[in-house]
Chains A and B, each alone.
Chain A
């Protein structure tokens, strides 16, 4: 008996015993699950196979970035859905970032009224579920915007209606290559110029207005090329034909509602992150910067923001990730994203719950795991080196 009690009292061997017991139960649990799945599948006459991915999907998707029609395979439908997820996440992230940063800064402004407005925006928005935001915006677009014939027109080029938004579409003609070429040259020049100015400043202390010079180079050089080559870009303006608009770019009510809802909701969280990030900077940093005579914009750009960035970026990325995951709620308003195509209609048509959900989950999982891996790498890179 003493042998066993000695084993139990020794920390090392006890740890091993506990782990073996845990492993044993885990193995038992997994085999129990597998057995159940086998028994259930046998009773239903089902099997696990991914061949369904290659048979024609047989349903239409109203919004696609790559060519798709109902004769294409389920796999292609899934890819179209994935791209649609990417599309709405992209628009949503842009809207959320711009709005969120603006709100976060207004929230810290000395102006009492503006700061209170931003505060109540944040509180009202983030305390209401995202699904409600999506349905509310979708309802507003569908129910309160006018019919295309009476569409709200913004300068006769952009039209808002209950069938979606119609935006002018840029069309490129021959000669556009020159514009692209000049753009590339401008970018290369401005990178080199920025490097040169940095070195010059390090050596002599002389500062050039780098930002304005580079900005005008990148903006005006392609513009000159644009006029030289005979204006090769034209706008296709949507026009009312019959009951609906033709031409231009069409943003469906679903895409618009989803973008607004995701952007506005996530902006509230980003505003709080930005505010917390700026407040996290020690007061002494600002005072020191002011006392050596930097003007307010320099204090912000050279002292506060570089330090705040370290605090802001990790939670900001996780908000982007949340936004992307929340875009899966698109299914509630019928926007065809990954969950609605592969995990929705394909699932219902083929009856392969196990396989479709597995693929959908793995895709989301790999996206979020790779982004968190990237974040860990970034964190370790910018971490303050402690004593």
Chain B
């Protein structure tokens, strides 16, 4: 300590005490602030070391990226045998879509980002023009994927598979279930007893049964409820079930949002003489949807993950392709590699969705200090 004296109003800024700032201070505060904390840090470091060591060795250093079969893999090295993926990567992405026509999927997928951009990012330049494209996009995508018009070869539904099927099911389900979910939420809050009861029954039924039973209904029973002779694709039936299922969950999320709106808002709207639809359009929904964004995105992520269930009724989503690959005697027993690869795909897309929801939540949070 220096014994120097200063005149009033003339103190220099002293540096903070050592050990509270900088790398050392940070480490001390966040990792070794107490005995139990230090212990936790040491355990974590040991755990991480073994985890990372094992993962890097198995995933990369000792892994084989191309070989004829599992046995050939094992002859080269004893890590992961990624050959089961690299040899079938086309199937994992496109299913059994004809190889010569796969560019159609690529274009549809890339233009999907352009179509979604104005919906997802409200500040995008030339938003109005892009929105026209978004409106037109479903028809564009349908024609391009299905074919049968403009000289494009017609492709059967049964050839769809892989990540492409996941994205188709997920996007269709998400796009259709939001409007239905909003209607159901409004129905549940309605004054009309009949409408309210109907909405409640629908929502509770859909939320009460496992999705897989609904998919069984779609695959084996739906035809009984339609006029004899009607037959439409299993893909459409599955999308309808996904839509119903996730609409029920979205309805509950939005209902939470509607109930969170202060009563004064409705009273003010009534005082202005608004009718029901004006009130809903200008007062209820803008506020309710804003509050319920995290919940809605979570439901979407759930729906997207649930698309994997179609493998149980025989559609070839990435899991179906993976199981087909594993059934091949060449690749028998490489389940860890296959499923981890599919898991990575789901992790990347779902994590991106949840990050987007966080971003949007912050952006719309107008009552920030």
Contacts and interface: CB of A to CB of B under 8 A. Distances in A.
Interface of B is mostly: helix
Nearest to A42: B228
A361 B213 contact: yes
A110 interface: yes
Interface in A100-116: 109-114
B225 A36 contact: yes
Contacts of A361: 209, 213
Contact of B227 (A18, A36, A112, A123): A36
Contact of B192 (A18, A110, A142): A18
9 contacts: A18-B192, A22-B194, A23-B194, A41-B224, A110-B33, A111-B41, A329-B312, A331-B312, A369-B208
B238 to A, nearest CB: 15
Contacts of A113: 30-31, 40-41, 44-45, 48
A365 B205 contact: yes
Interface in A239-254: none
Given A132-B342, A331-B212, A143 B44 contact: no
Interface string B214-253: 0011001101111110000000000000000000000000
Contacts of A15: 191-192
Contacts of B226: 36
B212 A135 contact: no
A102 to B, nearest CB: 12
A110 B204 CA distance: 41
Nearest to A326: B210
A114 B319 contact: no
A136 B212 contact: no
Contact of B312 (A19, A117, A332): A332
Interface stretch (B91-99, B105-113, B343-351): B343-351
Interface of B: 30-31, 33, 37, 40-41, 44-45, 47-48, 191-195, 198, 204-205, 207-213, 216-217, 220-221, 223-228, 301, 305-306, 308-309, 311-312, 319, 323, 333-336, 338-340, 342-343, 346-347, 350-351, 354
B207 A129 contact: no
A71 to B, nearest CB: 27
B193 A117 contact: no
B308 A110 contact: no
Nearest to B195: A22
Given A36-B228, A111-B31, A357-B221, A132 B346 contact: yes
Contacts, number: 155
Interface of A: 15, 18-19, 22-23, 26, 33, 36-37, 39-41, 43, 109-114, 117, 123-124, 127-132, 135-136, 138-140, 142-144, 325-326, 328-329, 331-332, 339, 343, 347, 353-354, 357, 360-361, 364-365, 368-369
B311 A332 contact: yes
B319 A19 contact: no
B224 A40 contact: yes
B312 A127 contact: no
Given A111-B30, A131-B311, A19 B195 contact: yes
State the 6 A-B residue pairs at the shortest beta-carbon distance, nearest first. A139-B335, A127-B350, A112-B30, A129-B305, A365-B208, A328-B210
B210 A364 contact: yes
A222 B318 CA distance: 54
A330 to B, nearest CB: 10
A325 B338 CA distance: 26
